[in-house]
Structure 1
Amino acid sequence: MDERICSRVGCSREAVSTLTYDYADQMAVLGPLGLSREPHSYDLCAIHTERLSTPQGWQIIRHVSQTEA
């Protein structure tokens, strides 16, 4: 797998997680780095993964891999 960088503008750190949004349910889903890039998801570095925030009223679902648990 090629190294992927963080999707945040101006960030060049290596991505460690993938973020997707479910707008209908006002939910952000954050999980381990996906196997491939997807057009409707965002790869994030460790810093941006930790700092992730959502609009008021939204829920963040954080999935962890078995190695992180």
Structure 2
Amino acid sequence: MSEYREYLHESVRNATRLSPDLAPLWAFTARFTDDLELWEELHLRLPERDVRRSLVEARMKILRRKFGA
């Protein structure tokens, strides 16, 4: 069962990354907060003046420190 759960997680994760709409990516990232790759994807795709960028940058800094990246 856990293998199937992991398969579903990765499928949804990849679909959110490929979606042209940022809402699914934002929602998924907010749920799985330790996924640095998703935070970096959000950072790349959010417009420069989007107020959420500061939150994304702060979370990326924390995760990089936490994981030594």
Flag the structure with higher helix content: 2
Flag the structure with higher strand content: 1
* TM-score of the pair, normalised by structure 2: 0.30
Higher Rg of the two aligned structures: 2
* TM-score of the pair, normalised by structure 1: 0.30
